[in-house]
């Protein structure tokens, strides 16, 4: 993207509705490839990453213009990687337990929410599952004390991640105990042909009802891949199970959904579609 | 397949409704006399309108009720039945049976082209504009000037569609001899595409070149037949033969901590003096090594044109006097030995001397409300016509100035792709989204 920015639009915005504010410029420390953003309602802050600078940035909720972040995490102690294959283009915040969560270098890393500068992670989770490899997208369920992560399923025979998985096949979702640390067996792994997961991008969790809402943008490198959707699974699902709901198809007009967030008050699922450079809001009362 | 099954079912339902409606209408015609007789039997006179016959109180509702639905939102029967579905099932449903497809209640998007880069074929008097919003290359006559009262100008040609592989197209180069158009991709397709001069519509490129992920700037040394690309994700400059195609290997790569390349964007060449200029946003890591990330100030780094490996720049332009703020595309004027730079976040164009170094002020600055420049990412010099072109992502426009323009100067011409009062949304590659519940705003990062 030639021009990085974070744009804020009114909830009821439609085609060509101008942004109510724009955050961009040198002082913001933003870069492109911000493939995630999280709003922390409790502390009125939002978080993004800068993968090129291997940094997690925290802004005040009302940030506007060329304004610097409140604080950022960056440095050798952080163990943060990022840019092309290592990740750090996604982030999650747990405002109940005051933690920032990222999936980087095949592990889930937890930082203090208020960390600033060169700070080591509080703990990390690595997958003790013969096939599941942790990816970059994380989402937290503070009610059930779970952390959900997108990743890939390696070949059962060779233990290696298949070419299909690397290119965008064999995607999966794993559910871990949020408080676990070290080499950890996932409580569940949702993956396989029936899930139709090729790869997982941004996820959101509706914790009161235990729904995992995950974007499935299809094979990487394709402009308009087939069978893209936003899938909804339960935190109690396990194995090769189809999504409970599949927000996608001709009515939805979704082509390549990559971002998703929930507006529980208005019972809406908000989706970012990268192929149409659009934000689509769906009334979806079933999950709320 | 799921869609086809649903369509068949829907068609069946529609057919049944139509048959029932036809039957009711035909019955109505023949049954009026019978209804009149029945009404008289019930001591009511036929009025042609509904009449209250009897009333029975419904039992009080208790427990679960249907969700209230927005009038403009469709839903499926299956979706309704799924309300409040309990967690923890092992579903045996097939993909075709999974509910969820519905139209969006609202869509936020920019429906107009938005220009990220510009290049001029000054032999043919045409200008090429990269549309990074709707994905395409718009071709206009060089002298097109959208009147202030007009909604927008229509391009004479439009290269767009899946065959073109244009997506997040951010850099342009036009070969003045052959007329070929080189388009750089910033994301997803990792392919530079080259079109013939007359390309139009959804057409295959004449050539393709596989590139590293995250290319941005392009420059060509026609004397040496070498093609240069900046690579944001790899903090690098890669050099290919100009006619490279497919999976052809690159000739050399400039990369490493000594280079001070940091989220490199624009590139300009001075072949006569053997120099290469690179603009850097400043975000840096050492070839993806863990914990090496840092923020450098924005800069222009200068190298020998054949620099490769981990080579330090000959000099660096950086510091508060430079006014650099997300420096993007650059162009070099060999006649005056000046570097032109699109200064994205400062809504300006900066002009430096090619021999400048350190914390220096630009020689000229084009900036201000009369310039029509807003978030410029593309720039191009037309030496034949002594014109400077600027592509602004903030306002759907490309503006033209004299090359020696300075200050708050209005453009001599403007090509606008949207009504003047329409602000560009500049949504690009939205990979994530958040909802700010306090302000009732949707946050969209590029």
Q: Provide the chain B residues 164-183 that lie in CB contact (below 8 A) with chain A.
A: 165, 167-168, 170
| Chain A CA closest to residue B232 | A52
- Report residue B28's pLDDT band, with 50, 70 and 90 as the boundaries: very low
Same domain, A128 and A45: no
Residues in chain A within 8 Å Cβ distance of B214: 33, 84
What Cα–Cα distance (Å) separates residue B317 from each residue in B256, B302, B372? Answer: 19, 8, 26
Q: pLDDT value at position B71?
A: 29
- Within a domain: residue A15? no
Q: pLDDT value at position B322?
A: 98
Same domain, A115 and A138: no
Residues in chain A within 8 Å Cβ distance of B392: none
Q: In this predicted model, what pLDDT tens digit does every residue of B122-170 receive, in sequence order?
A: 999 999 999 999 999 999 999 999 999 999 999 999 999 999 999 999 9
Q: Can you point out the beta strands (E) in A95-206?
A: 99-104, 107-112, 123-127, 132-141, 146-153, 171-177, 182-184, 188-191, 203-206
Q: pLDDT value at position A33?
A: 81
Task: Name the domain boundary from A102, A121, A140.
Answer: A121
Cβ–Cβ gap B108/A278 under 8 Å: yes
Q: pLDDT value at position A87?
A: 72
| Number of Cβ atoms within 10 Å of the Cβ of B304 | 14
Same domain, A105 and A132: no
The yes-or-no verdict on residue B43 having pLDDT over 80 is no
Q: pLDDT value at position B95?
A: 52
Contact A6, A30 (CB under 8 A): yes
- Within a domain: residue A116? yes
Say if strands A257-263 and A245-247 run parallel, antiparallel, or are unpaired: unpaired
Contact A231, A216 (CB under 8 A): yes
Task: Name the domain boundary from A90, A105, A121.
Answer: A121
Give yes or no for A156 touching B (CB within 8 A). no
Percent of chain A with pLDDT over 70: 93
Q: pLDDT value at position A84?
A: 63
Same domain, A96 and A156: no
CATH of the domain at A229: 2.130.10.10
Give the separation between CA B248 and CA A251, rounded to whole angstroms. Answer: 42
Residue B106 has its nearest CB partner, among A12, A210, A243, at A12
Cβ–Cβ gap B101/A7 under 8 Å: no
Give yes or no for B419 touching A (CB within 8 A). no
Give yes or no for B64 touching A (CB within 8 A). no
Cβ–Cβ gap B70/A283 under 8 Å: yes
The yes-or-no verdict on residue B44 having pLDDT over 50 is no
Give yes or no for B186 touching A (CB within 8 A). yes
Cβ–Cβ gap B117/A2 under 8 Å: yes
Give yes or no for A105 touching B (CB within 8 A). yes
Tell me which of A1, A2, A31, A83 to substitute to probe the interface with B (most B C-beta atoms closer than 10 Å).
Answer: A2
CA distance B52 to chain A (A): 37
| Chain B CA closest to residue A216 | B431
Q: Of A161-170, B39-48, B253-262, which has the strongest mean pLDDT? A: B253-262
Residues in chain A within 8 Å Cβ distance of B298: 26
Same domain, A78 and A128: no
Same domain, A127 and A234: yes
| Chain B CA closest to residue A14 | B108
Give the list of residues 6+ apart from residue A174 with CB closer than 8 angstroms, or none: A127, A129, A132, A134, A148, A149, A151, A186, A188, A189, A190
Residues in chain A within 8 Å Cβ distance of B294: 53, 74
Q: In this predicted model, what pLDDT tens digit does every residue of B329-362 receive, in sequence order?
A: 999 999 999 999 999 999 999 999 999 999 999 9
- Within a domain: residue A279? yes
Structure tokens at A184: 């950890």
Give yes or no for A269 touching B (CB within 8 A). no
CA distance B342 to chain A (A): 11
Q: What's the ipTM?
A: 0.96
Same domain, A112 and A129: no
Same domain, A4 and A147: no
Contact B326, B264 (CB under 8 A): no
Closest CA to B317 of B266, B354, B343: B354
Contact B140, B153 (CB under 8 A): yes
Q: pLDDT value at position B94?
A: 52
CA distance A96 to chain B (A): 17
Q: pLDDT value at position B25?
A: 42
Same domain, A162 and A117: no
Q: pLDDT value at position A154?
A: 84
Cβ–Cβ gap B434/A261 under 8 Å: yes
Q: In this predicted model, what pLDDT tens digit does every residue of B84-110 receive, in sequence order?
A: 333 444 444 455 589 999 999 999 999
Give yes or no for A198 touching B (CB within 8 A). no
DSSP A22-56: EE-SGGGT--S-----EEETTTTEEEEEEGGGTEE
Task: Compute the mean pLDDT over every residue in chain B, rounded to the nearest whole number.
Answer: 85
Same domain, A2 and A26: yes
Q: Can you point out the beta strands (E) in B288-375?
A: 294-295, 299-304, 315-318, 327-333, 338-343, 348-353, 364-367
Residue A53 has its nearest CB partner, among B283, B375, B393, at B283
Q: pLDDT value at position A85?
A: 58
Cβ–Cβ gap A283/B105 under 8 Å: yes
- Within a domain: residue A248? yes
> Which residue range forms the structural domain that includes residue A137?
122-288
Give the separation between CA B52 and CA B435, rounded to whole angstroms. Answer: 50
What Cα–Cα distance (Å) separates residue A91 from each residue in B257, B435, B442? Answer: 27, 15, 17
Structure tokens at A236: 């109690």
What's the mean pLDDT in B385-395?
98
Q: In this predicted model, what pLDDT tens digit does every residue of B52-80 receive, in sequence order?
A: 444 444 433 333 333 333 323 333 333 33
Cβ–Cβ gap B437/A41 under 8 Å: yes
DSSP 8-class letter at A19: P
Same domain, A194 and A117: no
The number of folded domains in chain A is 2
- Within a domain: residue A107? yes
Q: In this predicted model, what pLDDT tens digit does every residue of B178-237 receive, in sequence order?
A: 999 999 999 889 999 999 999 999 999 999 999 999 999 999 999 999 999 999 999 999
Cβ–Cβ gap B290/A81 under 8 Å: yes
DSSP B147-202: -TTSS-PPPSEEEESGGGT-SSEEEEEE-TTT--EEEEE-SSS-EEEEE-TT--BS
Q: Which segments in chain A show pLDDT lower than 50?
A: 158, 162-168
The yes-or-no verdict on residue B424 having pLDDT over 70 is yes
Same domain, A144 and A262: yes
Between these two residues, B113 and B41, which has the higher pLDDT value?
Answer: B113
Task: Name the domain boundary from A92, A121, A150.
Answer: A121
- Within a domain: residue A105? yes
């Amino acid at each position: 993207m030639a021009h990085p920015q974070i744009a804020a639009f009114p909830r009821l915005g439609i085609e060509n509705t101008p942004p109510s504010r724009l955050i961009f410029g040198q002082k913001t420390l933003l870069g492109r490839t911000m493939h995630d953003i999280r709003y922390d309602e409790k502390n009125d802050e939002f978080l993004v990453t800068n993968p090129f600078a291997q940094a997690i940035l925290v802004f005040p909720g009302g940030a506007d213009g060329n304004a610097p972040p409140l604080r950022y995490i960056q440095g050798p102690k952080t163990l943060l990687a990022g840019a092309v294959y290592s990740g750090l283009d996604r982030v999650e915040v747990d405002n109940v337990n005051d933690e920032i969560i990222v999936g980087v270098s095949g592990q889930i890393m937890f930082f203090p929410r208020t960390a600033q500068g060169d700070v080591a992670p509080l703990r990390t989770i690595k997958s003790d599952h013969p096939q599941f490899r942790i990816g970059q997208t994380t989402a937290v369920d503070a009610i059930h004390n779970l952390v959900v992560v997108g990743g890939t399923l390696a070949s059962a025979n060779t233990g290696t991640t298949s070419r299909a998985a690397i290119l965008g096949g064999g995607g999966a979702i794993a559910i871990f105990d949020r408080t676990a640390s070290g080499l950890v067996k996932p409580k569940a792994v949702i993956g396989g042909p029936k899930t139709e997961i090729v790869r997982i991008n941004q996820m959101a969790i509706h914790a009161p009802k235990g729904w995992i809402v995950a974007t499935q943008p299809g094979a990487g490198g394709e402009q308009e891949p087939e069978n893209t959707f936003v899938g909804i699974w339960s935190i109690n699902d396990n194995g090769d199970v189809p999504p409970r709901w599949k927000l996608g198809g001709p009515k939805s007009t979704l082509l390549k959904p990559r971002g998703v967030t929930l507006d529980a008050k208005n019972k809406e699922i908000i989706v970012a579609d990268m192929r149409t450079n659009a934000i689509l809001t769906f009334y979806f009362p079933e999950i709320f | 397949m799921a869609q086809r099954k649903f369509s068949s079912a829907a068609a069946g339902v529609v057919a049944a409704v139509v048959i029932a409606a036809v039957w009711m209408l035909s019955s109505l015609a023949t049954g009026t006399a019978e209804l009149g007789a029945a009404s008289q039997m019930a001591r009511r006179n036929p009025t042609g309108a509904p009449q209250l016959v009897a009333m029975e109180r419904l039992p009080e509702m208790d427990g679960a009720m249907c969700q209230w639905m927005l009038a403009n939102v469709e839903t499926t029967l299956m979706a309704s039945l799924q309300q409040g579905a309990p967690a923890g099932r092992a579903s045996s449903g097939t993909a075709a049976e999974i509910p969820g497809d519905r139209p969006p209640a609202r869509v936020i998007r920019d429906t107009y082209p938005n220009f990220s880069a510009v290049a001029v074929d000054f032999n043919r008097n045409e200008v090429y504009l990269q549309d990074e919003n709707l994905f395409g290359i718009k071709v206009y006559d060089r002298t097109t000037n959208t009147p202030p009262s007009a909604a927008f100008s229509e391009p004479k040609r439009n290269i767009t569609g899946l065959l073109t592989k244009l997506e997040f197209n951010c850099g342009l180069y036009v070969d003045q001899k052959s007329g070929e158009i080189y388009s750089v991709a910033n994301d997803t397709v990792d392919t530079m595409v080259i079109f013939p001069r007359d390309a139009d519509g959804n057409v295959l490129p004449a050539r393709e070149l596989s590139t590293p992920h995250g290319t941005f700037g392009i420059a060509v040394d026609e004397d040496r037949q070498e093609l240069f690309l900046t690579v944001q994700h790899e903090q690098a400059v890669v050099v290919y033969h100009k006619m490279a195609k497919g999976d052809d290997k690159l000739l050399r790569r400039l990369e490493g901590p000594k280079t001070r390349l940091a989220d490199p964007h624009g590139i300009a060449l001075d072949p006569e003096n053997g120099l290469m200029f690179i603009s850097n946003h400043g975000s840096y890591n050492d070839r993806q090594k863990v914990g090496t990330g840092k923020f450098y100030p924005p800069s222009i780094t200068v190298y020998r044109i054949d620099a490769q490996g981990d080579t330090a720049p000959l000099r660096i332009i950086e510091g508060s006097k430079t006014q650099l703020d997300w420096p993007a595309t650059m162009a070099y004027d060999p006649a005056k030995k000046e570097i032109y730079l699109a200064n994205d976040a400062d809504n300006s164009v900066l002009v430096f001397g090619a021999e400048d170094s350190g914390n220096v002020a630009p020689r000229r600055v084009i900036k201000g409300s009369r310039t029509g420049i807003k978030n410029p990412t593309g720039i191009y010099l037309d030496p034949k016509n002594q014109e400077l072109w600027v592509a602004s992502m903030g306002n759907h426009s490309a503006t033209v100035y004299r090359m020696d323009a300075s200050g708050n100067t209005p453009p001599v011409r403007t090509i606008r792709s949207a009504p003047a009062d329409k602000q560009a949304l500049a949504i690009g590659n939205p990979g994530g989204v958040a909802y700010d519940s306090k302000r009732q705003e949707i946050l969209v990062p590029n």
